[in-house]
Amino acid sequence: LGAMNTVVALGIATFKAVVVVLFFMHVKYSSKLTWLVVVASVFWLGILLVLTLSDYLTRSWMTFG
């Protein structure tokens, strides 16, 4: 696979995280409020990742020294 190793590893990790949240944390059979908290937390994580990556990608790549 070569260059696809990272993509495959992230896909497997995401699948495992979803399985843990749904089954081992009992979210699949819980109330709508629990689902709302899970969705809101994933949305908040997305916001934090977008803000972090936007800061990282807009920096000037100058070397000092």
At residue 16, the pLDDT reads 97
> For position 63, what pLDDT does the model report?
62
Model confidence band, residue 39 (pLDDT cutoffs 50, 70, 90): very high
pLDDT at 64: 63
What are the structure tokens assigned to 58, written together? 């807009």
The whole-angstrom separation of Cα 14 and Cα 27 is 16
Report the first-to-last Cα separation within the chain, whole angstroms: 39
Whether 62 has a pLDDT exceeding 70, the answer reads no
Average pLDDT over residues 42-57: 93
Q: What's the whole-model pTM score?
A: 0.73
Find all residues with CB under 8 Å of 35, minimum gap 6, and list them: 27
Q: Is residue 22 within 8 Å of 28, Cβ to Cβ? A: yes
Residue 59 has pLDDT above 70, yes or no: yes
